[in-house]
Chain A
């Protein structure tokens, strides 16, 4: 069984390397600022002792006041996992750095979030709709979507 890594084991290291990137943390969840997400993800993947080399999934939630993008990371080596979150206030053009360069498996899931939530991911190739067709109006998983 994979053990959930307590956020308190990660936050001091993160704070030391990337000061001010953490918004809040509790349990096994760390919420970071959207602009430092890629640096945090890269740090979690490459730092010895953490080695989050496996991305379980990415998903997004619409809280109406903001979007929350959730990354569930696991280290195969150390058999521990952590949940990484980030918040986006902008509803018009929400954008976030892509993590495809770190985990290949993020590709389709980022495209799915782009398709259904309208959150675009920067610095990645082939960002286009995956389920719905080209020309579809609106983003169906947003709470304010009206068909």
Chain B
């Protein structure tokens, strides 16, 4: 039977594609006829080959800085940049912190993003107080840093450091997600220099 040599829009004939596919399958099949060894050769080794010596501090700090879970508390427009940082384009999960906790009790990091009004201040303070130690705070955006545009307003807290201690300030109005990610990396560096023998200053 004569095979119809239909031409695809790209200019390849489907017959040729079939041929290359067939060759690739045949060559793979010829090459892999025996099972590969399971990677367990090191299991019988003397202890010493799989031991890493480190300090408790660096181990704990490594674990803490690689899984900083933020609490889900958006105040104003900066929250959208934080949401964007959490979404696939900027992808906060690269730093092990994609799990935004709706409960402060399960969170390590409070990102205060946006204008904090005096009316909202008790609630934010309460979220911070409910978080378990160790806990960190990022002030994101001009408003959170100093009140920003609303610095002289009768209703706005001139900087969240008035009510809670801040670890990292991320400037911008609003900061882009990259800026927030940079701030988060700065926080990671800060966490890595912490020691368990050192207590944080109480708020």
Q: Closest CB-CB distance, B104 to chain A, in whole Å?
A: 23
14 contacts between A and B (CB under 8 A): A131-B119, A131-B155, A132-B119, A132-B155, A133-B118, A133-B119, A136-B154, A138-B154, A140-B154, A140-B155, A145-B154, A147-B152, A147-B153, A147-B154
Residues of A within 8 A of B (CB): 131-133, 136, 138, 140, 145, 147
Residues of B within 8 A of A (CB): 118-119, 152-155
Q: Closest CB-CB distance, A64 to chain B, in whole Å?
A: 19
Q: Closest CB-CB distance, B100 to chain A, in whole Å?
A: 29
Residues of B within 8 A of A145 (CB): 154
- Given the complex of chains A and B, what is the CA–CA distance between A69 and B152 in angstroms? 27
Residues of A within 8 A of B118 (CB): 133
- Given the complex of chains A and B, what is the CA–CA distance between A46 and B31 in angstroms? 94
Most chain A beta-carbon contacts within 10 A, residue among B118, B152, B155: B155
- Given the complex of chains A and B, what is the CA–CA distance between A136 and B154 in angstroms? 10
Residues of B within 8 A of A140 (CB): 154-155
Q: Which residue of A lies closest to B153 (CB)?
A: A147
Q: Which residue of B lies closest to A145 (CB)?
A: B154
Q: Closest CB-CB distance, A89 to chain B, in whole Å?
A: 26
- Given the complex of chains A and B, what is the CA–CA distance between A136 and B118 in angstroms? 11
- Given the complex of chains A and B, what is the CA–CA distance between A132 and B117 in angstroms? 10
Q: Closest CB-CB distance, B129 to chain A, in whole Å?
A: 20
Q: Closest CB-CB distance, A11 to chain B, in whole Å?
A: 41
Q: Which residue of B lies closest to A146 (CB)?
A: B154
Q: Closest CB-CB distance, A104 to chain B, in whole Å?
A: 26
- Given the complex of chains A and B, what is the CA–CA distance between A136 and B153 in angstroms? 13
Q: Closest CB-CB distance, B121 to chain A, in whole Å?
A: 10
Residues of A within 8 A of B153 (CB): 147
Residues of A within 8 A of B155 (CB): 131-132, 140
Q: Which residue of A lies closest to B122 (CB)?
A: A133
Residues of B within 8 A of A133 (CB): 118-119
Interface pairs A-B: 7 shortest CB-CB? A147-B154, A140-B154, A133-B119, A132-B155, A147-B152, A133-B118, A132-B119
Besides A132-B119, A138-B154, 12 new A-B residue pairs in contact (Cβ under 8 A), listed by A number: A131-B119, A131-B155, A132-B155, A133-B118, A133-B119, A136-B154, A140-B154, A140-B155, A145-B154, A147-B152, A147-B153, A147-B154
Q: Closest CB-CB distance, B163 to chain A, in whole Å?
A: 15
- Given the complex of chains A and B, what is the CA–CA distance between A135 and B201 in angstroms? 32
Residues of A within 8 A of B119 (CB): 131-133
Q: Which residue of B lies closest to A138 (CB)?
A: B154
Q: Closest CB-CB distance, A29 to chain B, in whole Å?
A: 32
Most chain A beta-carbon contacts within 10 A, residue among B152, B153, B154: B154
Residues of B within 8 A of A147 (CB): 152-154
- Given the complex of chains A and B, what is the CA–CA distance between A145 and B154 in angstroms? 10
- Given the complex of chains A and B, what is the CA–CA distance between A132 and B154 in angstroms? 10
Residues of A within 8 A of B152 (CB): 147
- Given the complex of chains A and B, what is the CA–CA distance between A132 and B120 in angstroms? 11
Q: Closest CB-CB distance, B127 to chain A, in whole Å?
A: 19
- Given the complex of chains A and B, what is the CA–CA distance between A138 and B155 in angstroms? 12
Q: Closest CB-CB distance, B122 to chain A, in whole Å?
A: 10
Q: Closest CB-CB distance, B155 to chain A, in whole Å?
A: 7
Residues of B within 8 A of A132 (CB): 119, 155
Q: Closest CB-CB distance, A110 to chain B, in whole Å?
A: 20
